[in-house]
Amino acid sequence: MTNRRSGPPKRRSGPPRQPMAIIAVCMLGVLVLLAVFAPVLWGEEAVAADPDAIALPPSGEHPLGTDKLGRDILLRTLVATRLSLVMAVAATLMGGCIGLALGALPAVLGTRAQRWFASVISTWLAFPVLLVAMLTVILLGPGTTTAVVALALTMTPSFARLAQTLSSRVGGSEYLAAARMLGVSRRRQFTRYVLPNIAEPVIVNVTTSIGGGLLALSSLSFLGVGVQPPDFDWGRLLSEGFGQVYNSPVAAIGPGVAVVFAGLAFSMLGESLAAQLRNREHGRALPPRRLGPAPVAERPARTPAETERAETEAAPLLDVDGLSVSFPGPDGWIRPVQDVSFRILPGEIVGVVGESGSGKSVTMMSIAQLAPAGAAVTARRLRFDGEDLTGRTPAEAGRVLGTRVGVVFQDSLTALNPALRVGTQLAEIPRVHGGAGRAKAHEMAVRALDDVRIPDAARRAQQFPHEFSGGMRQRALIAMSQIGSPSLIIADEPTTALDVTVQRRVLALLRRECAESGAAAIVVSHDVAVLAELCGRLLVMYAGRIVEDVDIALLATPERLAHPYTRALAASLPDLGTDRTKPLVTIPGEPPDLSRPVTGCAFAARCAFATDDCRTEVPVLTEHRHGGRVACRHPQDAMATDAAPGREEVGA
Amino acid sequence: MAELVIEDLVVTFGHRHRAFNAVDGVSLTVPHGTIVGLVGESGSGKSTVARTVAGLQRATSGRITLDGDDLLRTRGVDRRRRARDVQMIFQDPYSSLNPRMTVGETIEEALTTHGDLDGRRRAASVRELLDLVRLKPAVAGQYPSQISGGMRQRVAIARCLAVRPRLIVADEITSALDASVQGAVLNLIRDLQRELELSMIFITHNLAAVRYIADTTVVMSRGRVVEHGDSEEIVANPRQPYTRALVSAIPRIEHAGTDHLLRFADEEGLR
Ligand SMILES: Nc1ncnc2c1ncn2[C@@H]1O[C@H](COP(=O)(O)OP(=O)(O)OP(=O)(O)O)[C@@H](O)[C@H]1O
Ligand code: SF4
Ligand SMILES: [Mg+2]
């Protein structure tokens, strides 16, 4: 990480804290001071010829010596700061503005204008830079203005291309469509919608380019087509210095150092601006030293009753106990998954439901040893088919799982490699893990596709993912998860993007596959009804914890569900029998922000049955009389009339 | 509010031999002050109808009129008048709000484009609109990234109401939201419709939602209308095989713990 912070974490925005930014700002400060004051202080001295001091080597009086007319080179270099900077900034700004107009305006002008502008920009880009510069010089004659214009013209197309790329994203956005529909004028669309959304990267790019611009202008002056005497910039001084390089080699060094210094200042400033933007986009995280060790589930190991049950029960295929997943955040660990414990028996289909961000995907990916980079996964116990996975690296644990766990990802388009034929991707698994030969593996791939009812499987195996429809890709993914004959399938939202009819086919396939092969499955969804049809048991997640673990059949009789959140979830879904005259049942409020520690029950703020102790202590997931487990102080199932002691007195 | 009539609408994409009709002769009517549901599978042309009505897509042929005014005429029509005819609410509240404008600015944008209120009156209107969509006034100072998806969708609804359009097109406005939030947005739409007598096209693939919210429902398949009628009736007694297939494919909580899916797999020959 580039940022090191001193002192306690404070607000996130504010002045840049990276050392590079500080150095760049200081260097820039020096340059600006020189540009403003040097000509005032030493302007006359720098141009006054002194016949007694012609071409002197460095001395105490003239640290960099004097030139052919006896003028002090150091002073001249300092005085030249103003012209050099003004030219570079002017040229870059000019190029930036023209580029921005060319690249970004079309976003609000319609498709025909876009095409026209795009071809102008590419033609312009194709022109050699030197040719553009030379043509400008020929047309305008050498001079300061010429140099600036020439530079601006060569910079314009690359700014335009950048602005075009950025603004085409805005141009296709729904918020711009909404503005258009509101009747917002084109000018306002441009200034309020397009510009602010592309400004930051453009500013970074322009800043960085000033440094390059400075170099380019110096070369133009050096070559004699830029600044003309008696004016002088660093490039001019360089070329004069080179003229006397034999009797005073230092003469060229002063202006040279100045050019490099200023170029570096702008490049560094641009870089640190860019770093600042990146940090803001991805959120800044505390360095490991300040984060401390990854959080672990604090609950003690199992109660004796649970241990007894664990021993009498059939050996689980998957046994997860005290699983926590944390990410480094700006103010410490963010804990999207906390103390999750559950078991899956062989052949069982278990559903996981919960709101977006409740930690479903992170839990499943961590179990499959595919947790995102940066995640800290801890567990008291994580056993698959009798083998302990805790204490191994994800790569080792992944090898233990091998083909015994098949994963279906949430997004079918990104889960398949777009550059490989579908059949080749499927065949990869038996080839790598099963040691099958090429022909054998391909045959297996085609059979797997045929198994999930992809018509004409042999031909389809030769196609690329984008040639499949969404439903077919999803089926191909299921085929892929099946091909190693896994004993556990983990499916994250396998049908969310699909139409109902396709969804039902995919669900039926999954169900059939499990019934036939005896594989177990964990299926994640935010739609309880989907899980009701598919699964035997339901895990309900809220704010990173399992709040209820219940037989799926109880969903059909919601009054027998125990946790207030599960009950609200089951009641809030409109179905084909909902009373149209009444408002739908909803859950008021929002889920908590997991980047801050949550004390007590995370659902308390939205729960109608919350009491004071709910808000202070985390309810533990324990066995419940409905045969499953619940984490709630006041379970609401019908038999639990005694379960909310003193609710009236304490109040909500 | 007003009555929308679509007659024989055709929208063609692509050129010559690759051309296909995304919308292929659709006719439907949205009577004054009612919600018409538009359902169908993805690719059935629902959204294309919506975007054409909203003026975001060109029609190839056909007529769309709002109280007799031709909505397909684009020449010489005042941009702002057109905006007061039809407004659309989009599926994804994450991308339909400008990330660089606060909630207040977003709603004000609609207000200033349509009437020159002074600053104080505008602020009051923003508060009123936020109140209408059940948001607290403090939300006005926040950026879209600082509020939840459900709240964002309410902001989008408030922005649309600020224009006082004669017709609202809502395209899958609940499908990007969590189940528990969907209900709240559906309730809001229903209440607003009653309070303000809105005319609305409500597009969704969720038959349960459409049955709850729409007075009449139009079922589309492959660019054509296959069935239309009273919403409750269509879901209870679908007449066309396509509609029947849609209705029977809806996952139901009543099937919890049964072998319904396995039976379906057998029937369909999925072995
Ligand atoms: N790589 C990551 N770095 C930091 N935080 C992450 C990362 N991946 C996920 N999170 C956070 O973990 C939390 C849980 O995310 P997760 O994807 O598991 O939710 P989910 O229940 O699957 O939601 P959805 O229904 O939207 O798929 C979220 O707050 C998310 O922002
Ligand atoms: S523990 Fe208390 S606040 Fe939490 S769900 Fe149960 S009753 Fe509600
Ligand atoms: Mg997920």
**ipTM, 2 dp:** 0.84
Ligand nearest to the CA of A539: 1
The interface residues of chain B toward chain A in range 26-85, judged by CB-CB distance below 8 A, are 41-42, 54-56, 79-80, 82-83
| CA-to-CA separations, A540 to A360, A393, A535, A590, in angstroms, rounded | 9, 29, 13, 17
Q: Which residue has the higher pLDDT, A303 or B104?
A: B104
Shortest Cα–Cα distance, B179 to chain A (Å): 7
Could you tell me if residue A515 is inside a domain?
no
| Structure confidence at residue A312 (pLDDT) | 60
- Given CB atoms, is A507 within the 8 Å cutoff of chain B? yes
Q: Tell whether B187 lies on the interface with A, counting CB pairs under 8 A.
A: yes
**Residue B96 contacts A where some CB pair is shorter than 8 Å:** yes
Residues in A closer than 8 angstroms to B99, CB to CB, are: 175, 197
B contact test, residue of A175, A350, A507, A572 with most B CBs within 10 A: A175
CB–CB contact A501 B255 (8 Å): no
Q: Do B96 and A178 touch (CB under 8 A)?
A: yes
- Number of A/B CB contacts below 8 angstroms equals 198
Name the residue range of residue A575's domain: 548-652
For residues A371 and A377, the answer to whether their CB atoms sit within 8 Å is: yes
β partners of residue A546: A541
User: How many other C-beta atoms lie within 10 A of the C-beta of residue B135?
Assistant: 20
Substitution target in B108, B168, B202, B212 with the highest count of A β-carbons within 10 Å is B212
The Cβ of residue B132 has, within 10 Å, a number of other Cβ atoms equal to 18
Instruction: Chain B: give the shortest CA distance to residue A310, in Å.
Output: 24
- Structure confidence by residue, pLDDT tens digits, A479-517: 888 888 889 999 988 887 678 888 888 899 889 888 888
Question: Any CB–CB contact under 8 A between B178 and chain A?
Answer: yes
- Residue B175 sits in a domain whose CATH number is 3.40.50.300
Q: How far is CA B58 from the centre of its chain?
A: 18
Where do we find the tokens 């912070």?
Answer: A5
Predicted confidence at residue A651, as pLDDT, reads 35
Total domain count, chain A: 2
Q: Examine residue B157 and state whether it is found in any structural domain, yes or no.
A: no
- The reply to whether B109 falls in a domain is no
pLDDT of residue B1: 57
* Intervals of chain A under pLDDT 70: 1-17, 280-289, 299-313, 411-414, 497, 638-652
Candidate of A565, A601, A612, A636 to mutate for ligand 2, largest count of ligand atoms within 8 Å of Cβ: A601
Q: Is residue A106 part of a domain?
A: yes
The partner residue sitting opposite A174, judged by closest CB among B90, B236, B247, is B90
Host domain of residue B11: 4-91+165-267
8 Å CB contact of A174 and B260 = no
Assigned domain for B203 exists: yes
Q: Which structure tokens are listed for A420?
A: 């490989």
Tell me if A200 is assigned to some domain. Answer: yes
Closest CA to A406 of A418, A398, A414: A398
- Tell how far the Cα of B95 is from the centroid of ligand 3, in angstroms: 19
Q: What torsion do the CA atoms of A358, A360, A361, A364 make, to the nearest 10 degrees?
A: 150
* Residue A233 counted as domain residue: yes
Give the global pTM.
Answer: 0.78
> What pLDDT is recorded for position A44?
84
pLDDT 10s digits, B27-86: 999 999 999 999 988 778 888 999 899 888 889 999 999 988 888 887 767 777 888 889
A355 Cβ under 8 Å from any chain B Cβ: yes
Domain annotation covers residue B53: yes
pLDDT exceeds 90 at position B180: no
Amino acid B244: pLDDT:
92
A234, A263, A282 - which closes a domain: A282
Pairing status of strand A349-353 against strand A520-524: parallel
Residue B52, C-beta contacts closer than 8 angstroms, at least 6 positions apart: B9, B11, B23, B58, B59, B64
Tokens coding A488: 């556990």
Q: Identify which ligand lies nearest to the alpha carbon of A611.
A: 2
Selecting from A192, A533, A555 the residue whose C-beta is nearest the C-beta of B101 gives A192
Residue B169 lies in a domain: yes
Q: Which of B44, B248, B222 is nearest to A504 (CA)?
A: B248
Residue of chain A minimizing CA distance to B55:
A181
| Residue A346 DSSP label | T
Question: CB–CB of B179 and A551 under 8 A?
Answer: no
The number of domains in chain B is: 1
Nearest residue on chain A to B89, alpha-carbon basis: A178
CB–CB contact B187 A180 (8 Å): no
Q: Is A202 on the interface with B (CB under 8 A)?
A: no
Within 10 A of A598 (CB to CB), how many other CB atoms are there? 19
The DSSP H or E segment spanning B86 is strand B86-89
Hey, which of A360, A363, A365, A590 would you mutate to test ligand 1's pocket, going by the most ligand atoms within 8 Å of its Cβ? Answer: A360
B 240-259 residues with CB below 8 A of A?
245-247, 249-257
Domain C-terminal end among A241, A257, A282:
A282
Nearest CA in chain A to B43: A499
In whole angstroms, give the CA distance from residue A41 to residue A85.
18
On whether residue B258 sits in a domain, the answer given is: yes
DSSP codes joined into one string, A381-414: EEEETTEE-TTS-HHHHHHHHGGGEEEE-S-HHH
Q: Does residue B240 lie in a domain region?
A: yes
User: Rounded to the nearest 5°, which phi and psi values hold at A234?
Assistant: -65, -35
Question: Does A439 map to a domain?
Answer: no
Confidence of residue B116 (pLDDT cuts 50, 70, 90): low
- Which residues line ion ligand 3, judged by CB < 5 Å? A 361
- Å from CA of A615 to ligand 1 middle: 24
- Strand A376-378, strand A318-329: pairing: antiparallel
pLDDT at site B20: 84
- DSSP classification of residue A467: G
Extended strands (E) in A473-529: 488-492, 520-524
- Read off φ and ψ for residue B52, nearest 5 degrees: -70, -45
Flag if B257 and A553 touch (Cβ within 8 Å): yes
Give the residue among A306, A346, A339, A314 at the shortest CA–CA distance from A324: A339
Long-range Cβ contact pairs of B75-83 (< 8 A, separation 24 or more)? B79/A183, B79/A185, B80/A183, B80/B113, B80/B114, B82/A183, B82/B55, B83/A181, B83/A182, B83/A183, B83/B113, B83/B114, B83/B163, B83/B165
Q: How far apart are CA A405 and CA A545, in angstroms?
A: 23
Q: State the DSSP H helix or E strand holding residue B203, giving kind and residue range, or none if neither.
A: strand B200-203
How much is the pLDDT for B271?
53
Residues with CB under 6 A from ligand 1: A 327, 334, 336, 354, 356-362, 372, 374, 526, 594
Domain contains B247: yes
Query: Which residue CA neighbors atom 1 of ligand 2 most closely?
Result: A632
End-to-end, the C-alpha distance of chain A in Å comes to 46
According to DSSP, the β-strands at A537-542 and A349-353 are parallel
Closest C-alpha residue for ligand 1 atom 9: A362
Whether residue A638 lies inside any domain: the answer is: yes
